[in-house]
């Protein structure tokens, strides 16, 4: 028995791979292109684990996908691989179209061919789980009800439009060909191994480095935060028991305005690593130009997954954010490794001209 995971060297994928292999003796084939966001350092504890087979490659590489499926005969494919950063999609959408849409298409099409040829028993047990985002639903007014699975798709950024397109392809491959798919739409994750281009790790690391903490616009945009390990447990649950062709929203019931998230990080750092001059990290907060087309609010109604599959998050925001900050304080070597030249180039481009 084995499963094929794509994007397992990125933030959520690597947490999923580490958790999976800690709990299961099933072989896991981890296919990752190792873009700027993929990092083998994250997986170094698996170096001598015979159940982890790492393959560097692209989900859009049809012969490679076909070869891996034939060789390893997985019972499931879990697709994390994607370009995931909204700001990068605004600067340059090409890679988002290529990986998130064309890549997902190639993965689906080659998986379909493999699945169609399986013997009856394996065919009915097979699953493809596509990991998606709440951003496909667009932006919510502050007084609107959280997104349910029935909410219309209204993606606003090149990133969310490319993820929405991939969700539609997954849906169509089920409807037309009967491919046994599951889709999850999750809110904002945070936790260990989060690449420091995203708000929470960026703020932790900038604070410690004495740099400005950049807040886009008025900082009152709202996100619903979920600790990454809770996302991973939800995916395992959907893979094990989700109804075929269904989508499941996953969220933490932790809606917070960005400024509150940043202030919370500052006050935990004030306690855990006080500044020598006695000032608060909050003094480094700096309001900068807003993200173009910035979605105002996301919020997930996660009652379906709770009702049908009995899943609930373990962490609250206050327990999860403290764990996350401690992890960054204790893992400076990982941070140094990912904050390479390419990362510095991105930061210089994105935050050029800000104080
Ligand atoms: P990430 O950017 O940290 O990691 C993406 C991984 O995919 C990297 O390891 C990268 O090397 C790999 N990759 C990129 N293009 C590839 C390709 N063509 N072929 C193979 N591998 C490729 O992303 P993440 O935050 O871990 O997100 C994982 C998935 O979860 C994405 O599909 C994203 O849309 C979704 N998601 C993310 C969040 C979040 O808050 N981060 C929330 C909901 C859903
Ligand atoms: O909602 C799920 C999505 O969450 C995922 O699909 C994406 O892959 C993931 O990147 C994340 O998208 P966001 O755009 O919400 O995450 P990000 O960390 O980039 O930004 C969070 C909020 O903080 C957002 O409102 C923008 C704001 N922000 C971000 C950065 C990087 C700032 O104010 N300053 C910053 O420097």
The number of folded domains in the chain is 1
Nearest ligand atom owner, CA of 81 = 1
Active site residue 134: yes
Phi–psi pair at 77, nearest 5 degrees:
-120, 130
Nearest ligand atom owner, CA of 183 = 1
Q: What angle do CA 4, 179, 251 make, to 5 degrees?
A: 65
Residue 215 placed within a domain: no
Ligand 1 in reach of 131 Cβ (< 6 A): yes
Torsion of CA 159, 165, 170, 171, to 10 degrees: 130
Q: How far apart are CA 9 and CA 32, in angstroms?
A: 6
Active site residue 135: yes
Specify the pLDDT at position 352.
Answer: 83
Q: How far apart are CA 43 and CA 227, in angstroms?
A: 19
Strands 255-257 and 222-227: antiparallel
Taking the centre of ligand 1 as the mean of its atom positions, its distance from the CA of residue 102, in whole angstroms, is 15
Specify the pLDDT at position 160.
Answer: 98
Catalytic residue (choose from 159, 190, 193, 248): 159
Q: Is the pTM of this model over 0.85?
A: yes
Residue 349 placed within a domain: no
Residue 124 placed within a domain: yes
Specify the pLDDT at position 355.
Answer: 60
Under DSSP, is residue 303 helix (H, G, I), strand (E, B) or coil? helix
Residue 57 placed within a domain: yes
Q: Are 3 and 77 within 8 A, CB to CB?
A: yes
| pLDDT averaged per 10 residues, the chain (length 355) | 97 98 97 95 95 98 98 98 98 98 98 98 98 98 98 98 98 98 98 97 97 98 98 98 98 96 98 97 98 98 98 97 98 90 80 75
Task: Provide the residue range defining the domain that includes 106.
Answer: 2-190+227-253+293-314
Give the pair of three-digit tokens for residue 205: 């690391």
Give the mutation target among 29, 31, 37 for probing the ligand 1 site: most ligand atoms within 8 A of CB: 37
**Residue 73 belongs to domain with CATH number:** 3.40.50.720
- The minimum-distance atom of ligand 2 relative to the CA of 87 is 19
Q: Which helix (H) or strand (E) holds 337?
A: helix 332-338
DSSP string, 274-291: --TTS--GGGGEEEEPPP
Ligand 2 in reach of 78 Cβ (< 6 A): no
Q: What angle do CA 154, 290, 220 make, to 5 degrees?
A: 75
Give the pair of three-digit tokens for residue 98: 């290529």
Residue 172 placed within a domain: yes
DSSP string, 100-156: IIIIHHHHHHHHHHHHHTS-HHHHHH-EEEEEEEGGGG----TTSPPB-TTSPP---
Give the residues across from 5 on adjacent strands. Answer: 30, 78
Taking the centre of ligand 2 as the mean of its atom positions, its distance from the CA of residue 6, in whole angstroms, is 22
Q: How far apart are CA 212 and CA 355, in angstroms?
A: 7
Phi–psi pair at 85, nearest 5 degrees:
-105, 120
Active site residue 159: yes
Catalytic residue (choose from 32, 135, 167, 230): 135
Residue 249 placed within a domain: yes
* Nearest residue to 328 via CA among 190, 223, 187: 190
Residue 72 placed within a domain: yes
Taking the centre of ligand 2 as the mean of its atom positions, its distance from the CA of residue 145, in whole angstroms, is 21
What are the angstrom distances between the C-alpha of 67 and each of 111, 112, 224, 300? 11, 13, 39, 38
Residue 56 placed within a domain: yes
Nearest ligand atom owner, CA of 198 = 2
């Amino acid at each position: 028995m084995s499963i094929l995971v794509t994007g397992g060297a990125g933030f959520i994928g690597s947490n999923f791979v580490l958790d999976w292999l800690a709990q299961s003796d099933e072989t896991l084939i981890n296919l990752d292109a190792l873009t700027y966001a993929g990092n083998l350092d994250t997986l170094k504890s698996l170096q001598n684990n015979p159940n982890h087979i790492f393959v560097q490659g692209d989900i859009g590489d049809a012969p490679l996908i076909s070869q891996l499926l034939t060789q390893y005969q997985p019972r499931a494919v879990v697709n994390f691989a994607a370009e995931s950063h909204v700001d990068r999609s605004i600067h340059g959408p090409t890679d988002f179209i290529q990986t998130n849409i064309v890549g997902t298409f190639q993965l689906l099409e080659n998986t379909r061919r493999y699945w169609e040829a399986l013997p009856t028993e394996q065919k009915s047990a097979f699953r493809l789980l596509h990991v998606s985002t709440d951003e496909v639903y667009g932006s919510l007014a502050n007084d609107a009800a959280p997104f349910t699975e029935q909410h219309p798709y209204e993606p606003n950024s090149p990133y969310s439009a490319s993820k929405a397109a991939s969700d539609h392809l997954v849906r169509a491959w089920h409807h037309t060909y009967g491919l046994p798919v599951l889709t999850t739409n999750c809110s904002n994750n945070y936790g260990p191994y989060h690449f420091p281009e995203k708000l929470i790790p960026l703020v932790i690391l900038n604070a410690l480095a004495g740099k400005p903490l950049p807040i886009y616009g008025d900082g009152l945009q709202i996100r619903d935060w979920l600790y990454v390990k809770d996302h991973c447990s939800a995916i395992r649950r959907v893979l094990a028991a989700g109804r075929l062709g269904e989508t499941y929203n996953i969220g933490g019931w932790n809606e917070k305005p960005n400024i509150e998230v940043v202030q919370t990080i500052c006050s935990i750092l004030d306690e855990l690593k006080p500044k020598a001059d006695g000032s608060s990290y909050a003094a480094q907060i700096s309001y900068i130009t807003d993200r173009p087309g910035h979605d105002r609010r996301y919020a997930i109604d996660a009652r379906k997954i709770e009702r049908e599959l009995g899943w609930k998050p373990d962490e609250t925001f206050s327990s999860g954010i403290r764990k996350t900050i401690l992890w960054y304080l204790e893992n400076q070597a990982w941070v140094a490794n990912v904050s390479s030249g390419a990362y510095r180039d991105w930061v210089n481009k994105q935050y050029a001209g800000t104080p």
